[in-house]
Structure 1
Amino acid sequence: MLRYLFDPANAITAFGVILSGVALSLAMDGRIEVAVAVALWAMLADHLDGIVARRTRGRSRIVGEMGKSLDGFSDLIYGAVFPCIAVLQLNGVTALSATVGTMQLLAGALRLSHFSIVGLSADRSFTGVPLSYDVPLLAMLVLIQPLVNQPLFSWLVLSSFTALATLHVSSIRVRAPARPMYIAILLFSIGASAALSIRTMI
């Protein structure tokens, strides 16, 4: 099985899974700011692997299928499992936060299952908001945390992720990112991860 990782796109996907594992470990340790910073790079790996896959010539069918399956698991980890853990860490384990976290897991699994069957539409749009929106939203919330008092911050986190879980499984149409959007995602992720990392050292 490891031979599939010699494919450049699959290697990037696997590296993203490793980053997600690091982010989960940091979140469980209560180091939420640096955890989100690492998760942003896991998300970037997810964007990059598709670009590399499309530009890699001579990929066999089985290598491509392996990459597609691995990519789905990567999406679930950084886009649903990590946000679930982060929500619990930011709010404590309560009945409400556990419900919101579980909603995020279920919505993520449903969203990815639907996409694995339907894929992109003819106009290159998704049904439902992609899971790649979760970590940037989490980054923005953690960045403003020092400016927002409790219990307002907890309410903001829980309501935001309740809304996002709903949007994941909605019938809303979202266009696949074009180059300007990829550049914007890259710049935001670099800036946010740097800001979060620096704040942990102050």
Structure 2
Amino acid sequence: MTTSSEKTHELQPAIISYVKDLPNVCSLAGLACTILAIYFSIIGVYYAAMIGMIWAVAFDWADGLVARRMKGRTGNDRIFGGQLDLVIDIVSYGVAPAILLLSYGQFSPAFLPVAFIVLAASAIRLSYFSTFGLSDESKYTGLALDNNNIVYVFIFILEGILPSGIFSIVLYVSGLGLAALNVSQIKTPKLSGNPRNVFLLAFYTLGITGIYAWKLL
């Protein structure tokens, strides 16, 4: 006789089966970009790290766009995709920036507080969002984490202009400022839901990629 728990177990899909879901493929592609960003941050090739960080945002936006346009996705597909996206976000927008700050600060103990604050703010921000969602149909409470990477890769253009010591301070203060905005009560629009913003991000991503690829030559 088959018990109810055995029936439930039989109905559960294989874990790896969710990899074939196209939005999840986009999410994992973004994670791959983040791993590259972390790797290049650690070895000090910061321009390559910036390329990885901005492409992580591009794939993050793409998974939502694809998910909204796909038909036939089940409730479990959507729940799994949402959870996968949140887990990847903490790596892309929390761990990667924290490692970038530590690396550029030459792993000085002075950079440990800002790295912790950046990562903690990201975890708190994502936990709050997973609990309460949007404040209305199109606005977040606090600055959405994807904006952090967009700002970091823009700020890093100054790295070749300002003296290293001055730029370290700029990066330090920027990290603290973004973390404060992430957990603030300000209302910010959901940029990734607007097709015009998706086009602008694509243009920005290609532009940033071109700038830093040129700097790497």
TM-score, normalisation: structure 2: 0.89
Q: Which amino acid aligns with 1:198?
A: W
1:26 — aligned with what?
40
Residue correspondence of structure 1 range 52-201 to structure 2 within 5 A: 52-177=66-191, 178-201=194-217
Count of residue pairs brought into register by the alignment: 201
TM-score, normalisation: structure 1: 0.95
Q: C-alpha distance in 2, partners of 1:121/1:57?
A: 27
Q: 2:49 aligns with which of 35, 44, 60?
A: 35
**Structure 1, residues 64-114: CA drift from partner, whole Å, max 9, x if none?**
111001100111111111111111122222233111111000000000011
Deviates further, 137-146 or 65-74: 137-146
**Structure 1, residues 103-131: CA drift from partner, whole Å, max 9, x if none?**
00000000001111111132410011011
**Structure 1, residues 167-187: CA drift from partner, whole Å, max 9, x if none?**
100001001112222222221
Q: Which amino acid aligns with 1:148?
A: L
Counterpart contact for 1:88–1:101, Cα < 8 Å: yes
Counterpart contact for 1:32–1:89, Cα < 8 Å: no
Q: Which amino acid aligns with 1:12?
A: C
Q: C-alpha distance in 1, partners of 2:54/2:134?
A: 24
**Structure 1, residues 131-166: CA drift from partner, whole Å, max 9, x if none?**
111212221222111111232211111111101001
Deviates further, 87-96 or 77-86: 87-96
Q: C-alpha distance in 2, partners of 1:45/1:150?
A: 31
Runs of 4+ in structure 1 deviating by more than 4 angstroms, as ranges, are none
Counterpart check, 1:9 vs 2:23: yes
Q: Which amino acid aligns with 2:77?
A: V
Counterpart contact for 1:134–1:164, Cα < 8 Å: yes
Q: Which amino acid aligns with 1:192?
A: I
Q: C-alpha distance in 1, partners of 2:190/2:169?
A: 30
3-state SS of the aligned residue for 2:214?
helix
Any stretches of 5+ residues in structure 2 without a counterpart?
Answer: 1-14
Any stretches of 5+ residues in structure 1 without a counterpart?
Answer: none
What is the percent sequence identity of the aligned residues? 25
